[in-house]
A and B are shown apart, each in its own frame.
Chain A
Amino acid sequence: MLQYIVRRLLFMIPLLLGITIITFVIVHLSPGGPADMLTGLSPKVSAEAKARLHSLYGLDKPLHVQYWLWLSRLVRFDFGRSFKDGRLVIIKILERLPATLLLNVLSLLLIFFIALPIGVISAVRQDSFFDKGMTVFVFLGFSVPAFWLALLLMVLFGVVLGWLPISGMHSVNFPYFSFWGKLWDIIKHLILPVFVSAFGGLAYLSRYSRTSMLEVLRQDYIRTARAKGLSEKKVIYRHALRNALIPIVTLLGLSLPALIGGGFIFETIFAWPGMGRLGYQAIMARDYPVIMGVGVIAALLTLLGNLIADITYAFIDPRIRYR
């Protein structure tokens, strides 16, 4: 097992390299550079001044040289400084990371602990009222664009009803709250972003759990479990569930990139002080070092998430563990 994990970790290195190369090329080839953004696209700024900015940032060198310089700094964990405010990229990211992790972990938990029971119950009571209701919900989940839902919910709960805050992570007077007041304040700010970012996954995973469970319930070993004289509860929750979980865990790992990618949009809509919003702003400003830094960290999170999913997978399925 340990050997497997080490092997997987080593395998992540070429993968990360590939990801950074692609990101690097796309970022540098996309139209408009940091100099254009800094000078507000003003035609009055001379080409000479722009060239000076370019050489200041090292953008006048050939692309592969730039990449090599960037990479050689990266291996020393030096992500460089932001073009925009000159602060260390790594610090900027670390400030934002907890908010992003909080949002993503909560979304994942929500997806898992709501979608799984929904899927399992739908499968066990196939074609029941509950199952049909959930089919409609899933259909909506698939077809409603999340950003539109976000805006809708913001209007309803934030503006019309006034129950929930619609942006940021704290209220303005946050520092003056008691501990519980602070906690409650954060929770209120979390509800909408977590729900919206979990929404698509919720629909997807509940459907997938249903399929997986139905598939398992048809297997011979479930018949064996029944033939032993086990109660239906034990047949389902002891024998079927564990098997149905195997593909679900993999899927959860695979849904991580979508979640992190979606973060760029949701964090921006909800003005959530996370890495996604940082990335979005950096892209808008062509702040290359920050874009690359966010890209590397996001890729790393995704790969780690997949690794965790694979380890869990091996843990549930002995056929993987003992080959």
Chain B
Amino acid sequence: MEKILEVKNLSVEFYKGGKVIQALRDTSLTLKRNEVLGIVGESGCGKSTLALSILKLIPEKEGRVISGEILFKGEDLLRLSDEKLLQIRGDRISIIFQDPFTSLNPVFKISKQIAESLVLHKKENLSTQQMEKEVIELLELVKLPKPKDTMLSYPHQLSGGMQQRVMIAISLSSNPEILIADEPTTALDVTIQKEILNLLTELQKKLGLSVVLITHDFGIVAQTCQRVSVMYAGIIVEEASTSEIFHNPLHPYTKGLLESLPSREELPSSSQGKKRRLKAIPGQVPDPSNLPSGCKFHPRCPKVIEDCKPEEPRLREIVKNHWVRCIRAVY
């Protein structure tokens, strides 16, 4: 399949209180056309940073890309002029965020926030009625009941699930090729989570989207993704197809994440059921301004040996299309 997006050796740093936070360290990943790629990892391992970097949305005052390339159909987004970037951001590549409650502008009606995107990306000269029709179509696409009422509401009058649907409608208003979804369901109730995920999966198929789905929940991955990248401390530690990851997890971190899920049999159908933590990984994600030497997982790893400590392991292709960054991994 055609590679639509390639992140190559991306490093991103934040600067805060005199400290350098290494949020991404030499991270690479590839998104193919029409696939849903999952990015999984605990809180603070750099998932959002990766998502934001792709669209150059890291606030300049807070951090910056140190090195790397982000190739969209072969063109490096990091080296585009501002003007060219705006033709891709929100147009060819859209993004939705974790918290729908704060992601919509509180002072504008929904219709305005959607229409603004429509005008910007394709329909400059629509009459008011045509514009209204387009907005309603988008709201219907994301299955909002009573689109006419919703259109005239302000964000605070909608529930979280509805707000996230509106965000999805906005992100799809430009017929993008890529959708980046940064934990789109984390802030929502369990039942609503499911609805939104189903909607995303359905739209992905219907519109032929390529999706990067960020989550910290392997259950969601099982339901929606074809491939998964597991991140830890700003770097990819394992990458494979979803079924491969579930059947042959090789990195101890991936294993730990999978073991912390509710019973395996319940997967992939219902991971959300009762969120019983069977076995959490002991210890904590390392402080990205003060990372350990060698393999960044070694202080928490049950299989740690002396050789893990001096040097960070390379990403190895252990079997075809199954990559892992662990010196102890054997197939």
Contacts and interface: CB of A to CB of B under 8 A. Distances in A.
B104 A227 contact: no
Interface in B29-75: 55, 57, 61
Given A229-B88, A318-B154, 8 more contacts: A221-B106, A223-B103, A227-B57, A229-B87, A229-B90, A230-B116, A242-B108, A322-B154
12 contacts: A126-B61, A220-B97, A221-B103, A221-B104, A223-B57, A224-B167, A224-B170, A229-B121, A230-B86, A318-B154, A319-B106, A322-B156
Interface of B: 55, 57, 61, 86-91, 94-95, 97, 99, 102-109, 116-117, 120-121, 154, 156-157, 167, 170, 174
Contact of A229 (B89, B104, B106, B156): B89
Contact of B154 (A228, A242, A316, A319): A319
Task: Name which of B88, B107, B121 has the most chain A CB atoms within 10 A of its CB.
Answer: B107
A229 B105 contact: no
Interface of A: 126, 219-221, 223-231, 239, 242-243, 246, 316-319, 322
Nearest to B104: A221
Contacts of A126: 61
A228 B105 contact: no
Contact of A228 (B90, B99, B107, B109): B90
A318 B106 contact: yes
B120 A230 contact: yes
A224 to B, nearest CB: 5
Given A316-B107, A317-B106, A319-B156, A223 B97 contact: yes
Given A229-B121, A230-B120, A224 B97 contact: yes
B93 to A, nearest CB: 9
B107 A317 contact: yes
B107 A227 contact: no
A224 B120 CA distance: 14
A163 B97 CA distance: 59
Nearest to B109: A318
A231 B95 contact: no
B57 A221 contact: no
Given A219-B102, A224-B167, A243-B105, A229 B154 contact: no
Contact of A239 (B55, B102, B105, B120): B105
Contacts of B157: 322
Contacts of A243: 105-107
A250 B120 CA distance: 33
* 5 shortest interchain CB distances as A-B pairs: A229-B90, A220-B102, A318-B154, A228-B90, A221-B105
Contacts of A322: 154, 156-157
Given A126-B61, A229-B91, A229-B120, A220 B99 contact: yes
B103 A228 contact: no
A228 B122 CA distance: 12
A316 B105 CA distance: 12
B255 to A, nearest CB: 34
B172 to A, nearest CB: 12
A225 B107 contact: no
A165 B102 CA distance: 54
A313 to B, nearest CB: 12
Task: Name which of A220, A243, A316 has the most chain B CB atoms within 10 A of its CB.
Answer: A220
Given A318-B156, A319-B154, A322-B154, A225 B120 contact: no
Nearest to B102: A220
A10 B74 CA distance: 67
Given A126-B61, A220-B99, A322-B157, A227 B105 contact: no
Contacts of A318: 106-107, 109, 154, 156
Contacts of A230: 86, 90, 116, 120
A206 to B, nearest CB: 21
A220 B108 CA distance: 15
Contacts of B61: 126
Contacts of B55: 227
Nearest to B89: A229
Contact of B94 (A225, A227, A317, A319): A227
Nearest to B112: A238
Contacts of A226: 57, 89
